[in-house]
């Protein structure tokens, strides 16, 4: 049984830890461009490093003292799994720290507690929602009724696990939630037909190894007639009309190294 003072300390600790977690996720959003250059096999570790950095950017000493007093993990060594450690502590605090809903029965209308709320709250599911059921549950309990999944991140297997955890959380919490799969506006590489398995693209260099002419490559639409001399990469027509000169295209080569190409010419059936 908890005393009033202990209950208040748990409530404060819970709110402070939620704030810490939110700031970590905000920091991850700031680092999303940097994370996009990390190889898929290293992404989990890279994201955890970002989470650890986001945690260390905050002064959580007073919070750690409260957690230690309550006999909980004080987050002094969370580096192996930052979010997992935080979520475990939140799960321990939640049953007592989260306020129970109450209805005022003194003649006041029940509008504030009505289930007919028409507000739409959409939240983007983070990648950890695929392997951490509590993430979807927390979002649903916070009021989310549309879950957005970004198809520009992760893969089909990860999306399916996100959806599975979300439906499980929806059933457990008895809260309905729609799912929106965001197809994104990124350029999608089409199928390679009548091309070598690998295309070698490199700039022209002088005898000192200095670049004297940038490498040139063409991204071509279906139906384009191949022209000798310039490497060509087929792409789909989706959002092709949005491309313009000086836009940048980011991709990875066969060695998983990040590459940036700048558009210098946009034609009807290819860009260069």
- Environment class of 110 (CB within 10 Å of its CB; exposed 0-12, middle 13-18, buried 19+): exposed
Q: What share of the chain is helix, strand, coil (3-state, %, to 5)?
A: 40, 15, 45
Give the domain-ending residue among 62, 97, 132. Answer: 97
Domain assignment present for 82: yes
Residue 100: other Cβ atoms inside 10 A? 4
Task: Note whether 89 and 165 are same-domain residues.
Answer: no
Task: Note whether 84 and 144 are same-domain residues.
Answer: no
Q: What does each of the 272 residues of the chain score in pLDDT, given as a tens digit?
A: 455 578 888 888 888 998 899 999 888 888 888 888 888 888 888 899 999 999 999 999 999 888 888 888 888 888 888 988 898 888 888 877 665 544 444 444 444 444 445 567 888 888 888 988 888 898 888 888 889 888 877 888 889 999 999 999 988 888 888 888 887 655 555 555 555 567 777 778 888 778 788 888 888 888 777 777 788 888 877 677 778 888 888 777 777 777 788 888 888 888 88
What's the predicted TM-score (pTM) here? 0.39
Domain assignment present for 111: no
Cα 112 to Cα 107: distance, rounded to the nearest angstrom: 13
| Total of domains in the chain | 3
Length of the chain: 272
Residue 19 belongs to domain spanning: 4-97
Task: Note whether 90 and 10 are same-domain residues.
Answer: yes
Domain assignment present for 126: yes
CA atoms within 13 A on the CB side of 177: 35
Task: Note whether 92 and 8 are same-domain residues.
Answer: yes
């Amino acid at each position: 049984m908890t005393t009033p003072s202990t209950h208040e300390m748990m409530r404060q600790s819970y709110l402070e830890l939620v704030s810490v977690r939110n700031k970590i996720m905000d920091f991850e959003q700031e680092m999303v461009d940097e994370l996009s250059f990390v190889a898929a096999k290293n992404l989990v570790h890279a994201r955890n490093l970002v989470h650890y950095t986001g945690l260390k950017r905050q002064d959580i000493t007073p919070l750690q003292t409260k957690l230690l007093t309550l006999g909980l993990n004080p987050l002094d060594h969370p580096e192996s799994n930052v979010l997992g450690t935080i979520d475990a502590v939140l799960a321990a605090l939640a049953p007592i720290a989260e306020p129970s809903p109450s209805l005022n029965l003194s003649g006041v209308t029940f509008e504030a507690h009505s289930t007919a709320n028409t507000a739409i709250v959409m939240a983007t599911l983070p990648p950890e929602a695929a392997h951490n059921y509590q993430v979807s549950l927390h979002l649903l309990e916070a009021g989310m009724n549309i879950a957005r999944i970004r198809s520009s991140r992760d893969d089909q297997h990860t999306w399916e696990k996100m959806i599975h955890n979300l439906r499980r959380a929806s059933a457990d919490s008895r809260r309905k939630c729609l799912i929106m799969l965001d197809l994104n506006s990124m350029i999608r590489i089409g199928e390679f037909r009548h091309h070598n398995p690998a295309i070698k693209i490199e700039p022209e260099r002088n005898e000192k190894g200095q670049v004297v002419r940038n490498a040139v490559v063409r991204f071509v639409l279906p139906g384009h007639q191949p022209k000798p001399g310039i490497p060509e990469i087929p792409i789909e027509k989706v959002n092709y009309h949005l491309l313009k000169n000086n836009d940048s295209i980011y991709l990875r080569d066969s060695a998983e190294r990040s590459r940036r190409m700048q558009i210098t010419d946009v034609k009807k059936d290819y860009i260069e």
